[in-house]
Every structure is written in C-alpha cells, then in structure tokens.
Structure 1
Amino acid sequence: MGAGTEPAEAQPDAAEGRIYLDYNATTPLAPEVAQAVWDAMRQAWGNPSSSHPAGRKAKELIGSARESLARMVGGRPEDIIFTSGGTEANNMVIQTARRHFCENQARPGDSWGTPHIVTSSVEHDSVRLPLEQLVKESLPVMELSQRVRALNQQRAAAGLPRILVHTDAAQMIGKGRVDVQELGVDYLTIVGHKFYGPRIGALYVRGPGTTTPLHPMLFGGGQERNFRPGTENTPMIAGLGQAAELVSKNWEAYEAHMRDVRDYLEARLESCLHTRSGSQPSGFLQAAFGKQRIHLNSHFTGSKRLCNTSNFSILGPGLQGRRVLSRCQMLLASVGAACHSEKGDRPSSILLSCGIPCDVAQNALRLSLGRDTTRADVDLVVQDLVQAVARLDQDQTP
C-alpha cells in the first residue's frame, strides 16, 4: 500500500457469487475502522510511553479508544484493559479468580477448601479449558449477578472474600445492548473482530486492582498500568475504538436489521416447497424442506437469542452439516464455532448440552448474518441449500 493510498472497503469474500454468513466466526473491518487503523499507522507511530510529540500522539489516541470502549459497555475508561483478544482476557479473569481465592485463604485459621468456579456447559473453550486445567492442577448474567450481590453482603459481614462475576460478551457486542452497570458484572470480555473491529480485545474490570482484583499474566515494561505490559498496538487499538463508536451509535439499528433478516431466513427455510430446478438434468427434483424437515436448534421457549444467528438441522440420513456445505456453490458458513473446526463430524457439545439429539446435532448448520446481509441474500442461500440437499439425496438414491 503506497503512501497516500486509502484503504479499500473490506469485503468478507472477494469471489463473485459467494454469500458470507459466518459473521459469528469473524467480521470484516468496517470501512471507518480500516481508515482509523491506517491513519494511526501513518500519524501515531510513536511509542506511547515516550514523552516526545510522536509518543504523546499515540498515547492520546489510545486514551480516546479507551473512552470509546468504556462508553460502549457503560463503564469508565479506567476500567478498560487492552488485551490481544478474548482468549487472553478470559484466561486473565480465571487466573485472577484462583489467585484471589488463594491469597484470601492464606490467613491463619482459614480453611475453605479448593476454589469453586461456577460456569455453564455452553462456554467457549477459552473459558472451559483453563478451568479444566485448574482441576488437573489442584446462566442468565443479570439475574445471577443480583443473587451474587446479595450473597456478597452476607460474606462481607462474615469476613469472607466476595464472589466475582465474569461474562464473555464476545458474541453479544454489536448485536444488542451491553451495559456493565445493568449486568452487574465484575469482568466483561470484549473481542474486536466480532463487531467489525481488528483482531485484538479488551477486558472491562470494575475498578481494576482496587474494587476488583486483577493480576497480570505477563510481566514487562509496565504498560496498561502493569496489568498487561508490552508496547501498545496503537493502530489496532485505534481501530477497536472506532468499532466501538459505531456500535454505540448504531447498535439498535444493527440489531433490528439482523433480527428481521434472520426471521425471514427461518421463515423461508420452513416454507420451501417441491420445485424443479431448470439448471439440473430433467427429472432432478429439489429437496423439500418445510417444517417436517427443518429443525430449528436455537429455539427455546422463554430464552433470548442472538439477533443474527440461526442454528438449524436439515433432517435426513447423509445430511451432516459439513456434507451439505461442501455441496453449496454460494454459501460460506460453518457448522458451529470456527475454533472447533478440527473436530470433524462430531456433533457440537453445546447443542448436546442444550438437549438436541445426537442425530439432529450432527446435521447442524450455523448461519450468522452481518450488518449488510439482505433478504435477497437469504433467497439465494436457501436456494443454494435446497439444491445442495437435492444433490446429496440423489447420490443416495439407488
């Protein structure tokens, strides 16, 4: 990219005729974010710890981004710690909770046993695996926080350390309201590339090191108030701040649009009828979906859903999610979390934990929409899925 060149608008896929519906795995940079990154690379290249003008420019930009993230989640700038991403933030919280327990137990006469960390069976591996490692070595957020707050009042009176509450908000930011005051959490994980930002992250901590404990995982030059040392990645932090500004200003419009298109997608899936495909050999019949063949895995009575996500299975033998996607000519999507892509055709442990039968979970597809996904895109995707299933059905016909 030559001097003076403006960054081009990022596109999920440059191939003509492909439709990207894997926005829960990652999102492209919003044009405004790409511009902010580029501007910072050119104009704020100094070391933020240096006192000269180039360093002060970088430090000011980082401070502005910190304010933007705090505004996005309803916190204070001093509560934001920049990290390499969600995995680091989640691990930092878990290790802090363990160390907080051990330090408070290290007083004469204390014998409270081993730390107790309560989690759910549908967490990301960056939460689940550190907890499993701790074992080897030794639900609705708002409602849980309210109960924990009441319990902490009793614990404080008894001289016991308070219970800490953490939520990984990676998939929620940019798709709905996120306010740390309403949620009542002590920690909240922010992941930039899930809301059209760069691939770095941040951790919200309610009063880091004072009101709420926070222990570093790394040690070095003292950046980020010693909580996360290392020379700050100014351009990416600038991009993260710009992405946060877009969310703060537009999240309601983003949410309404994505919910509308998602609902249209599910209605189209359930209303597909038998039709002949002009592009297929004579007598080639497209597969019928309809309510008898589509199982909406993400529908649970009384439970809230992400506005942009539909997890469903196309019922029938030989219709495992990966096989269906391999026969699609336009759709770019996943069978589940991208970080689980090496697990082959094993059904999602999250779906199984939610009570989805194994044979249904094996056929699952996860379509996650973006800010610019349209109903016209949905029409093409459904047609693509119908034709892909028809090809698989024909392969199995004697």
Structure 2
Amino acid sequence: MGAGTEPAEARCDPSEGRVYLDHNATTPLAPEAAQAVQDALSQAWGNPSSAHPAGRKAKELIGRARESLAQMVGARPEDIVFTSGGTEANNMVIHTARRHFLESQTGDSPGTPHIVTSSVEHDSIRLPLEQLGKDSLAEATFVPVSPQSGRAEVDDVLAAIRPNTWASPALEGSGCVPEQGRGWQCPQVTVLSVPQFYGPRIGALYVRGPGSTAPLHPLLFGGGQERSFRPGTENTPMIAGLGQAAELVSKNWEAYEAHMRDVRDYLEARLEASFGKERIHFNSRFKGSKRLCNTSNFSILGPGLQGHRVLAHCKVLLASVGAACHSDKGERPSPILLGCGIPPAVAQNALRLSVGRHTSRADVDLAVQDLLQAVAQLEQHHAP
C-alpha cells in the first residue's frame, strides 16, 4: 500500500503527504468508533440516570460498551469503571493505595504509608507520588531499572521494602498484554487509555471486584454514577466510541500485532541500512525483555543531532522525541531513558517512532528518507 493510497486514518494529514508515526502519543479515531460516537450524539442523548426512554437508551448503550471493554480484557462488566483518561485512573489507584493502608492499620498512629515503584514510571504515577511526599502524606521509593534488562529487578524491589511498605496483590501493574493462545492477560488493576487503541479521549479502570476483592476509593463525590467510584453524568458518546474500539481489538488484535511488529522490524532494518549500524543506537532493546510490538526508540549518533532538532528539520515525518510525554521538554534527555542506563549524549538524540494498524512499508521508506535529509541538513550546518 503506497503513499497516498492507504486509508485516511493512516496519516495525520494526507493532503500534505505527512507520515504519522506517533501512535503511542495518540491514535486516529477508528471510523467505526467515530460512527459510534456520532450515533450516540444523535440517538442516545438522554441522561443515563433518567428513567424515561431517552435515559434508558443511553444507559443500555453504556452497558453494551462496558461489556465490550470487559470482554477485551477478560473481565466482568462490573469490574469496569469509566474515567476521563489514564491519568485520572492512575491517580485513583494511588489514592486508594494510600487510604487503604491507613484504614488497614491498628492503633492511634498508623504512620506514613510507603510505596515502592520503578524509576521509569509515567508522570501520571511519578508526579502524584512525589506530591504525596511533599505533603508528607506518603513516602515513595523509585527503584532503578537494570541497564541490562530495562526492568526493575526482584532483589532491588525487596531491598526497598520497609515495615510501613504497603502492598496488595489486588493492586498490581497497569497494563494488559496479549499472549498467544490466551487472549489478553491483565493484572487485577489495569489502567486503560483509549486514545492508544483508536478510541476517543476517554479512559477506563479495570478492577477485579472493585470495593470487595480489590479496594477502590473515589477521587470525586457527587450523584453516585459508576457505583459512586466515579460520579458525574456519564459521557455517553465517548463511552460508545470506547466500546466500539474495544470490539475492534477483541476481534483483530492478533492481526494488528503481527502487522505492526512486521512494520516496526522493517523500520529498524531500514534505519540500520540507511545510516549504518554504528550510527543507530536502539534504546529500547533489552535482552530477554518484551517490547511493544509497534515501537522503536532509537538515537542517531552524532553531534548536533538532538531528537527535537532532527524532527524540526523533517518535512514528512511526524513523531516524538525521548520517551513517554517528553516531546515538549527541549534538549533535556528523557529521565526514563536515563533511568534505563542510556548515556545522556545518546538519550538527548532519542526519537520515538510508533507505527499503527495502517502504517505501510512505503510509509517507513518515506520516513527514513526524510530522516536522512534532515540529518544531512543538520550535519552541513554543524560542519566547521
């Protein structure tokens, strides 16, 4: 499928001939999800809490979306709590962990809860924990990851545990992974950010038995919606789009994964062939560790080739620098990459290219050619 012939969702702006390789930041809305949003706007506009037919229709639509999302992650519908996005859901889990620790202690002085996490967490986890520390409401230890594996090692986690460390098997992890022959495998608490799988800007929290098997406490208080875990009138159109996006994943995830891995591997091969193996450093390759099937984080080695400068000179490629949510931080290397043991001089050159369901090899060819011209232009300016 060549340039200009792929589906509209493959590109950010097909009329300008751009190649969008920033699907980890957000994905275009799948046509089916967009249609579900539109249908809900026109046909399910009632308040889901109302008993009249318009309200019942909206409530039924939300129920179907809840079932679709539960099927995607192998859960029960009652385990799904809709949120505004992954950031809110992460904050809810952290808030719950702290409150549950305090409620579980005996005596007049329960002490300050201590939470152990890794040094490469997303800002929506790192910053709430840091804020709790500033307010003397909790303590946090950020365990470094191994530069060999890119993961926190068990011994380091155990060494960080204190008498006041709070841990619960019900609050583990925040992501689902597809496993061959087993479908999607999820921990007991999972944060789902829908824009990353071709849905609208909304989120959901999967908690196995919220309030019973696993503790869950609200951040907000109001009219009792979402069993009072997340009150407020439900955003029916966005939830409808979420449900449709989840159905697409349930039906097609194996094909999506195989396609994106193939294109990602082709991208990395083209980078090495075009720039030379000695000039490309793959920042996300760790022996024995799994990788996202669609993502390549790499640095083009050389002076003056900081990631943001390279992208600024690209005419076709749309991508990100550094790691998660890092694109607006200028020349500062990504703390996540530094935490993985990537040298600062390499980390500041980092580019994150993430392919999508409709990215083609032809798109990759255009992107790599664009990177070549951008680097040549920068090196020409940098030459003495």
TM range (shorter): 0.7 to 0.9
2:214 aligned residue: 212
Distance 1:182 1:292 in 2: 38
Deviation at 1:182, TM superposition (A): 4.5
Tell me if the contact between 2:279 and 2:301 (Cα under 8 Å) persists in the aligned partners. yes
Distance 1:87 1:362 in 2: 26
1:314 aligned residue: 300
1:136 aligned residue: 134
The 3 A distance-change label for structure 1 pair 86 and 298 is same
Deviation at 1:270, TM superposition (A): 0.6
Aligned equivalent of 1:125, options 89, 100, 123? 123
Aligned equivalent of 2:188, options 171, 186, 189? 186
Distance 2:101 2:378 in 1: 55
Tell me if the contact between 2:323 and 2:336 (Cα under 8 Å) persists in the aligned partners. no
Task: Give me the TM-score of the superposition, normalised by structure 1.
Answer: 0.84
Tell me if the contact between 2:21 and 2:356 (Cα under 8 Å) persists in the aligned partners. yes
For residues 221-264 of structure 1, give each alpha carbon's deviation from its aligned partner in whole angstroms, at most 9, with x where no partner exists. Answer: 11000110000000000000000000011111000000000101
Structure 2 counterpart of 1:233, one-letter code: N
1:256 aligned residue: 258
1:37 aligned residue: 37
The 3 A distance-change label for structure 1 pair 179 and 219 is farther
Distance 2:234 2:367 in 1: 41
Deviation at 1:164, TM superposition (A): 4.0
Structure 2 counterpart of 1:244, one-letter code: A
Deviation at 1:218, TM superposition (A): 0.5
Structure 2 counterpart of 1:367, one-letter code: L
Deviation at 1:341, TM superposition (A): 3.0
Distance 1:298 1:51 in 2: 52
1:377 aligned residue: 363
Distance 2:75 2:103 in 1: 27
Deviation at 1:134, TM superposition (A): 1.2
Distance 2:184 2:363 in 1: 37
Task: Give me the TM-score of the superposition, normalised by structure 2.
Answer: 0.87
Larger Cα-atom Rg? 1
Deviation at 1:343, TM superposition (A): 1.6
Distance 2:179 2:27 in 1: 16
Distance 1:204 1:178 in 2: 22
Q: Which has the higher strand share?
A: 2
Which runs of 4 or more aligned residues in structure 1 lie more than 6 Å from their structure 2 counterparts after TM superposition?
175-181
Structure 2 residue runs of 5 or longer lacking an equivalent are 1-6, 137-144, 159-165
Structure 2 counterpart of 1:108, one-letter code: G
SS for the counterpart of 1:304 is coil
2:107 aligned residue: 108
1:152 aligned residue: none
Distance 1:298 1:49 in 2: 46
Distance 1:115 1:205 in 2: 21
Tell me if the contact between 2:260 and 2:293 (Cα under 8 Å) persists in the aligned partners. yes
1:168 aligned residue: 174
Distance 2:36 2:201 in 1: 14
Tell me if the contact between 1:195 and 1:243 (Cα under 8 Å) persists in the aligned partners. yes
For residues 105-157 of structure 1, give each alpha carbon's deviation from its aligned partner in whole angstroms, at most 9, with x where no partner exists. Answer: 1x337x6642121211111100001111111122899x98xx99xxxxxxxxx
Distance 2:135 2:179 in 1: 37
Tell me if the contact between 2:122 and 2:324 (Cα under 8 Å) persists in the aligned partners. no
Deviation at 1:104, TM superposition (A): 1.1
Question: What is the root-mean-square deviation of aligned Cα atoms in Å?
Answer: 2.6
2:139 aligned residue: none
Tell me if the contact between 1:176 and 1:251 (Cα under 8 Å) persists in the aligned partners. no
Deviation at 1:176, TM superposition (A): 6.9
Query: Which runs of structure 2 are paired with 1:272-351 in the superposition (5 Å)?
Result: 272=274, 289-337=275-323, 339-351=325-337
Structure 2 counterpart of 1:333, one-letter code: A
Structure 1 residue runs of 5 or longer lacking an equivalent are 1-7, 149-159, 273-288
Structure 1 counterpart of 2:261, one-letter code: R
Q: Does 1:79 align with 2:79?
A: yes
1:358 aligned residue: 344
1:89 aligned residue: 89
Distance 1:228 1:195 in 2: 22
2:20 aligned residue: 20
Structure 2 counterpart of 1:222, one-letter code: G
Number of residue pairs the alignment of both structures matches: 356
Distance 1:178 1:367 in 2: 28
Distance 2:184 2:290 in 1: 20
